[in-house]
Structure 1
Amino acid sequence: MITTYTEALNFIHGRDQFKKAPTLDRMRHFMALLGNPQDKLTMIHVAGTNGKGSTVAFLRDLLMADGQTVGTFTSPFITRFNERISTDGQPIGDDELIQLVNRVPPVVAQLDAELDTKGPTEFEIDTALMFCYFAAHPVDVVVVEVGLGGLYDSTNIITPAISVITTIGLDHMRILGDTIPEIAHQKAGIIKAQVPVVCGRLSPDALAVMDQTAQTKQTQVVALGRDFDVTNQPEDQWGERFTYQYQAFQYQRLQIDLLGQYQIDNAATALTAFIQFQQLQHGQVVAATIRRGLAHTAWPGRFERLTTQPLIAIDGAHNEPAMVELAQLLHRHFATNEVYIILAVLADKQYTKMVHTLLTLPNVHLIVTQFNGPANRVVATPSELEDVVTTHDRISMAKDWPTALQQALRQMSAEDLLLLTGSLYFISEVRHYFKDDDPADANSKGR
């Protein structure tokens, strides 16, 4: 019997991280023993290399603005584990989580005994908890974020109302493949028979995989840049403004509070999925609802302002495609400012490319450092990071990120920007520091 929040987290985080073989058989067996709660839910499924979390947030707020109750399943969390399972943006309570977790150990023990490959992994348990929770606490729709890949992700036992694929880039290559088409094939695994598919801004070779997969599933892809489009309408203030066009739906000067062209793309992708979902559900698509939902969306850790004087922000860019987008954001919004970046990265990322990408901006001053990191992941050390650009005069090293923070604050002026980035785990640690949140379960995210 699990009686405390800490015991509940210890049970979840005590499981293996990854599957022993690429299959959904164990997850299906697991859910069958729990009564297949996922079959009771109306869901939207969101996959992609980057942009999943922001797209989920935009979708949630669009649906809530329409008056619907919305469950979300996201990962990793930024502050506390509970964020992964939320209703209308409110995380599951500690007591509810304890009760929920108590349903699972007997089934896990049974599967451990039955299966040569052992029972469910940590993320399979996370997913099962979510399905059980929303089956017992019904909402109008659950927006489910894929954990890793798509084809063999534990969330992929569902048949959603809409499938969404945000972006395709080179990440998790050891697991998903070394090329864009290989990774696209994994992401396209969430496409189901006759279920509409909405894609973000994909490269031609990635989109070709989506179209081909959709054809075999007797469905159709609606893609950003081909079937719906956006035009940036920049203004000299925080946030982004843009036009949107899809079929007969045309909107001028939509506003979001998140920075970056990629956030415009994420908002447009979410909006298209919202429109398609409303049409399937015979719901309304109202301009005022759309404007209210998009303007309301916030997503912690995505170019989030922590302080304004001095201007300090955090961003969860944790791979090379995200770092390219971040560099574009900095060029567009902060070209006339000096930008101090504190970078800390997990060791399995392409940190050489990430450093070089940031240093293409002439106004960037880079301090490479490290953070505590989750127990199961190795963090790149400052010396490893600094070795990638040994002779550059705009890169320096600090033994840890609080030291780097003090170093940057001493160097920067009132007009400069300080950005901490490189890993969602890292910015979670930073956010605890600035927001004075409860650090009880920081860096124990699992995935």
Structure 2
Amino acid sequence: MSATMLSPPAFAADSVPLQIIVSKDKQSLTVYEGETVVARSRISSGKAGHDTPTGIFSILEKRKYHESNIYSNAPMPFMQRITWSGIALHEGNVPNYPASHGCVRLPSGFATKLYGLTERGAHVIVTDADVVPQRIEDVVLFSPRKPLPPGTLMTDVDLRTASIKASPKKPVEVAMNVAPANPNRATDALPPQPDDLEEAQTHALRILITRRTDRETLMDAQKLLEEMGFETGGSDGYVGPLTRSAVAGFKRWKGLKQTGPMISGEFIDALYASAGQPKPPAGQIMVRQNFEPLFEAPVGIKAPEVALGTHLFTVDKIDRSIESADWHAVTLPNVLSDATMKRLGITMAADAKLPGAAKAALDRIEISQDVRDRIETLMADGTSVTINDESLGPETGKGTDFVTLTKSSKSEMVAVQDIGSTPAAEPRAKRSIIRYQGGVGLY
């Protein structure tokens, strides 16, 4: 059979978190509820020269009927987009081999049923070899908190700006440090009401744990410079004239050389010493909800010279009354280039085939209690945690969850457009296309 619905009752339930795994090797798609298979289908992925990218995605947009804006208005019924650059699940011709221009084609009957059962935000994992979710328990994983009294939704944790990039023409969106129940903090905000908390707890969180990039290092440096009286133009992680002037001024003050990298190790050491603060840890945690940034904060990574690997953890069956939940993990092969390993200070690669690789990565993560409290207060069924080494990928931007692209070999070119650490721009009907090796999808 081209498609099999193994467990219809599971689909009938409201808001059941589903996870879709596409295997390019097997040309198959499997739908999971936790570790239970509820549907299977054959598929047709990208043909040679138009390979379907591999990685961790989520459904960004759904349309019952869509036409390709790349390939002569080719029809794409029951389209479920997983990247803004042109990759989607949709109904189409499904021979017994890869035949699409990058998308994942589904048999007509299955495409219709799957469309009616998924929601925006559902995870779609695309791999070469098939992977299977496994039940996992670990003290690092978040546990749902019992309902808290009004006024404690926001903690005193020091949060960074929630905007990806500040616009000079628009106000900066800030993750506010509001704690009305704390008499030592002044605020004009009203305490969050129980109904607001319940509403927040119905939306799954998307959490990324990764290594700090140059952007995060600069964000924290800008904040410390501002606390010392320098004007940086905001702690957004982007270099502007004010930031350059502030860094140069600090270097003159401390007698540091002005030549070489602007943010050097010598500069960072002197900055934190002057501020009387320890240097931040090697990692960071970033949180989104409803495709919007919520907050981010530093986290520790033990043995940072060892690669973390690429893992996705998802939770369901949350019961706040007894503070319990079921977590499942998937580990994806992801080969880092020599240049990437050198840039990140990694001397030992991760091995996705090792038993317990996901748990081993979790056990190296150190998360502050303030950050943990906030996540455990807000987490809902379907909340997920991605762990990777490469931070934000080029497909992560406004209107997306965290998208992680993976590579099966060091020679594989995932994207020929060099975007660096700048996230993708806001999606538009007509926008530049991020081109994968051989081309893009949308049919």
- State TM-score, norm by structure 2: 0.25
TM-score, reference length from structure 1:
0.25
Which structure has the greater CA radius of gyration?
Answer: 2
Q: Which has the higher strand share?
A: 2
